[in-house]
Structure 1
Amino acid sequence: MKVTIITATYNSEQTIGVCMRSVLEQTYEDIEYIIIDGESKDKTLNHVIALIKDKTNVQLISEPDKGIYDALNKGIARATGDIIGFVHSDDFLADSNIIEKIVEVFKSQNVDGIYGNLHYVAFSDTDKIIRNWVSKTFKTKLLEQGWMPAHPTLYLKKELYNLNGGFDLSYKIAADYDFILRIFKQEGLKFYYLSITIVKMRIGGASNRSLKNIINKTKEDYRAVKDNQIGNWFTIVLKNVSKIKQFLT
């Protein structure tokens, strides 16, 4: 099975090296790596070009885009793998054999998607865990309780994107939540919880950088719930409350 990994990046010179090496050093060999850069103005492209020298499995596209979800959609459109996953430019895979483990589950369990756990880590000290997002086995009723898998840990068969499209660009912050609700609410699909830490994410993401963004994120989350006809305002309350225990474990 070929795995396509997509990284969207813009002015990420401080972190793109660690991100890319975590992909390029995976033990699983059949990986297609697509990097979508939004015409970075810093030294991001210098780092990218240096790392992909002589790599035949890497595509680099650098052009203006409409934000991270537009960039990810571009990557999805170019993907030729059987499985698609994302490693954002501030993030990195937790271990060199992560993709190998994911593929083993796809093969042995015949599933449509796999997700796992995520560590939020300090920006300058990635050994320091700030939040520990431990997921759980999926049941449809969890969606109404505000549950979602950590999107950076989610790997799906490409055919799901072919059938359902990519991210809705009318969402500026919560397109991943809308997409997850759109996919996970469907009957007949099988998802597997792989109980390991798949990704480490540096704190400071777009959705939680300011009070204004947090408010906008909450509004978009509620819109996603209504658009997908899953739950109500209480769903969003539960979604936010559930994050508290991530700081305690």
Structure 2
Amino acid sequence: MNKISIIIPIYNVEQYLPQCLDSIINQTYKNLEIILINDGSTDNSGKICDNYAKVDNRIHVFHKKNEGVSSARNLGLEKCTGDFIGFIDPDDFIELNMYELLYNEQQKTNADIVWSNYCFYYSLNKKIPGEITSNITYNLFNIIEKNNFYSDLFYKYQMKAYLVNKLYKKELFSNIKFPYKKTFEDLFIFIYLISKAAKISFINKILYYYRQRDNSICNQNNTHSIFNPDMIEAYIKSSIDYKYFSGNNRISNLLLFNTYLYTLKNILFYQQRNIYQLEEKYIISQLKLLLKTNIPLKNKITIFRIAYFPNLYRKIKLLRHPKLIKK
């Protein structure tokens, strides 16, 4: 039976950490290596980690100074010794058979990544399920299945880059590091990571509960009053990676269009323009290049307005939050 290393970066989550750890140590799949990276917590999170390690010898605790979730996950990757890797955020929790089901699917399909459904968890009475609606395996060595996967990734799975509801072969993370002191760190590596996979399997079971709380890092950085350069940079990199690995096609051009439009909207409306003049010029230059691609005419008209009549376009408030364009 192969060993699964589960990496949990931890920072000031004493309220939620016991539920998270209980859901891991009580997994029906027993051959686990549980790596807890205490990233300089100032509450009782570090003590909770140490107490759990005393009663379960599968738990290994590493205390470090606070450098952010990317640094913590990178340390976990350095320390892990398993054949497979899973990630869990410390304020979330999982079904008790999650890793048994993921592992069994991996053994059946030999997938490099096994991907379960998840649930946004607000309370016992409010849960919103994720996008997976069927069991399916994509063989990315087959050009038709590869094209189907990248199309489904855009349309069906809405480019969700969560690390946490998946099981990975360890070798996928060779030469991959999370960007230091960046938020939205999973989005930075997501497309490059899945591009290394030969086969990806999906399970239509809700196995991961992604807790939604107002004071989380991502929710703080997602507020409309805050311009987050990390988020913008991650979206652009992910979109460019998608275009590189999926090919120059209508979907990749639509994704780039939506990404640049969203970025330009943030630059124009959420900050003083004189701070971000270089970024605006870069975005407009990229939008001009998109004029030459095979995106729909209505998108080309939007690009033309942005690139050549930005002041008019801004005044009549046509810059809106982009939505993924349906088939």
Which TM-score bucket, shorter chain as reference?
Answer: 0.7 to 0.9
Structure 1 residues 123-175: Cα deviation after superposition (integer angstroms, max 9, x where no partner): xx3x233432123656023455552353210211001112x4222226x2222
**Using a 3 Å threshold, how does the CA distance of structure 1 residues 226 and 7 change in structure 2: closer, same or farther?**
same
2:160 pairs with 1:148: yes
**Using a 3 Å threshold, how does the CA distance of structure 1 residues 213 and 192 change in structure 2: closer, same or farther?**
farther
Q: Which residue of 1 aligns with 2:10?
A: 9
Q: Which residue of 1 aligns with 2:257?
A: 234
Q: 1:117·1:150 contact (CA, 8 Å) conserved in 2?
A: no
Q: Which residue of 1 aligns with 2:119?
A: 119
Q: Which residue of 1 aligns with 2:104?
A: 104
Per-residue deviation, 1:107 = 1.0
Identity of aligned residues (%): 21
Q: Which residue of 1 aligns with 2:314?
A: none
Per-residue deviation, 1:43 = 1.0
Q: Which residue of 1 aligns with 2:235?
A: 221
3-state SS of the aligned residue for 1:155? strand
Q: Which has the higher contact order (CA 8 A, sep 6+)?
A: 1
User: Which of 181, 191, 210 is the aligned partner of 2:191?
Assistant: 181
Normalising by the residue count of structure 1, what TM-score does the alignment of the two structures yield?
Answer: 0.84
Q: Which residue of 2 aligns with 1:134?
A: 131
Q: Which residue of 2 aligns with 1:85?
A: 86
Ranges in structure 1 where 5+ consecutive residues have no aligned partner: 243-249
Q: Which has the larger radius of gyration?
A: 2
Normalising by the residue count of structure 2, what TM-score does the alignment of the two structures yield?
Answer: 0.65
- For 2:187, give the aligned amino acid: Y
* CA RMSD, Structure 1 to Structure 2 (Å): 2.6
- For 2:190, give the aligned amino acid: I
Structure 1 residues 104-130: Cα deviation after superposition (integer angstroms, max 9, x where no partner): 1111111101111111112xx3x2334
2:210 pairs with 1:201: yes
**Using a 3 Å threshold, how does the CA distance of structure 1 residues 143 and 197 change in structure 2: closer, same or farther?**
closer
198-207 or 110-119, which deviates more: 198-207
Per-residue deviation, 1:214 = 6.3
**Using a 3 Å threshold, how does the CA distance of structure 1 residues 185 and 240 change in structure 2: closer, same or farther?**
farther
Q: 1:118·1:150 contact (CA, 8 Å) conserved in 2?
A: no
**How many aligned residue pairs are there?**
235
**Using a 3 Å threshold, how does the CA distance of structure 1 residues 14 and 119 change in structure 2: closer, same or farther?**
same
User: How far, CA to CA, are the matches of 1:158 and 1:78 in structure 2?
Assistant: 12
Per-residue deviation, 1:229 = 4.1
Q: 1:133·1:150 contact (CA, 8 Å) conserved in 2?
A: no
3-state SS of the aligned residue for 1:59? strand
Ranges in structure 2 where 5+ consecutive residues have no aligned partner: 139-148, 245-251, 263-320
User: How far, CA to CA, are the matches of 1:144 and 1:102 in structure 2?
Assistant: 23
User: How far, CA to CA, are the matches of 2:211 and 2:172 in structure 1?
Assistant: 28
3-state SS of the aligned residue for 1:96? coil
Q: 1:15·1:89 contact (CA, 8 Å) conserved in 2?
A: yes
